[in-house]
Amino acid sequence: MKVAGIDVDSKKTVVACHLDDKKKKPQKFDNTPDGHLSIIKALQKAGVTRVCLEATGTYHLDLAVALHDAGFEVMVINPKAARRFFDALQNRSKTDSVDATMLAEFAQRMPFEPWQRPEDDALRLRAYARRIAALKATRTQAKNQLHAATQTALTPPALIDDIKLRIAQLDAQIATLQAHAKALIDAAQELREAFELLVSVTGIATASALQILAELCVLPPELSAKQWVAMAGLDPRHFQSGTSVNKKPRLAKAGNRYLRMALFMPALSASRHDPNMRAYFLHLVEDRGLKKIQAICAVMRQLLHAIHGMLKTRTPFDGARFYGAAETVS
């Protein structure tokens, strides 16, 4: 089998080809549209049919789309899966070339799981949402700076005015991008219908619905609710060995942090204001002895199950089913 592993970062990509039993020396390319064309030509010339990449934020996405559209079989793997595979091969080095070579080994040895190309509108929406998330994080940092600055009389007024101006600029940027994202949703029937279903959930308003939808709309449609939960890193991770090691389950967190962030505030709000979700939250805290943050995470997980059912059946949120279904979901 002729395969290639590609290590991607913000500026460069390293391509390692394994042509049956022959391993070619890794090559470097720019992570640009022209660089992607050069990669495609090099792979086609080598007769490669299958390519493995590691999910690296947004840096791998354009290349994965270009390879898919050029007719290659593309597999995009979780970074933790790649790391564990590398460790299993007792690899001690960490360079871009070594990583590309290990990804090629992964493509040769492991079962192939095809990457499904999202629609262009879905990719654009996710780009908007992730930029908004980044701006919100910067705004939170600026607000913290403003709070610290106002706690002392020694802070020059001009400095406080500058921080306030920065916050106002960030507010304007966020509002503009949210308007663009909402216009994109309104123009696409499937996205618009999914958005309307999301805002029917107590705790999910326009901003949260936009962030959640942006992460879910790029997923393959055949994924189950449990796969969504695992993808979000909200599945419990058990750690047990023999009779002496039996730690409490913890969240895996080996998944989409943007989706976890988008679900947190809706789950927190719903746990306070929706009677069914609050009943579930109190059941977890009072009857099962979970800490409040653990219970919120459980609500997030169950909320994701509910959203999966809503989008699959195209039915609005039914709070009466939330707590009853919760008792059967681990």
Q: What is the 3-state secondary structure (H, E, C) of 115-179?
A: CCCCCHHHHHHHHHHHHHHHHHHHHHHHHHHHHHHCCCCCCCHHHHHHHHHHHHHHHHHHHHHHH
Note the pLDDT of residue 241: 44
- Looking at residue 251, what is its pLDDT? 58
- At 224, which amino acid appears? S
pLDDT at 1: 87
Residue 29 to residue 162: CA distance in whole angstroms:
42
Mean pLDDT of 291-318: 93
| pLDDT classification of 209: cutoffs 50, 70, 90 | very high
Check residue 37 and give its pLDDT.
96
The model carries a pTM of 0.76
Confidence of residue 84 (pLDDT cuts 50, 70, 90): confident
Residues pairing with 23 in the sheet: 18
Mean pLDDT to the nearest integer, 8-13: 88
Percent of the chain residues topping a pLDDT of 90: 70
More confident residue, 199 or 58: 199
Of residues 93 and 38, more confidently modeled: 38
Q: How many residues does the chain have?
A: 330
Q: What pLDDT, on a 0 to 100 scale, did the predictor assign at position 236?
A: 66
Residue 228 pLDDT > 70, yes or no? Answer: yes
State percent of the chain over pLDDT 70.
92
What integer pLDDT is reported at residue 324 of this predicted model? 60
pLDDT confidence of residue 79: 83
Residue 67 in contact with residue 74, Cβ under 8 Å?
A: yes
Cβ 46 vs Cβ 17: under 8 Å: yes
* Number of Cβ atoms within 10 Å of the Cβ of 198: 24
250 — pLDDT class (breaks 50, 70, 90): low
Mean pLDDT of the chain: 89
Q: Are 136 and 174 in contact (CB under 8 A)?
A: yes
- pLDDT at residue 21 in the model: 80
pLDDT score of 248: 57
pLDDT band at 242 (very low <50, low <70, confident <90, very high): very low
How does residue 299 score in pLDDT terms, banded at 50, 70 and 90?
A: very high
Q: Which residues are within 8 A (CB) of 163 and not within 5 positions of it... i.e. 6 or more apart?
A: 142, 145, 146, 149
In degrees, rounded to 5, the angle at the alpha carbon of residue 197 between the alpha carbons of residues 235 and 317 is: 65
Does residue 264 or residue 323 have the better pLDDT?
Answer: 264
Lowest mean pLDDT of 31-40, 219-228, 319-328, name the range.
Answer: 319-328
- pLDDT tens for each residue of 149-177: 999 999 999 999 999 999 999 999 999 99
pLDDT confidence of residue 257: 87
In angstroms, the CA 151 to CA 64 distance is: 49
CATH of domain 2-109: 3.30.420.40
Q: How much is the average pLDDT of 240-269?
A: 71
Domain ranges of the chain: 2-109, 120-216, 225-326
Residue with tokens 């936009």: 210
Amino acid at 159: L
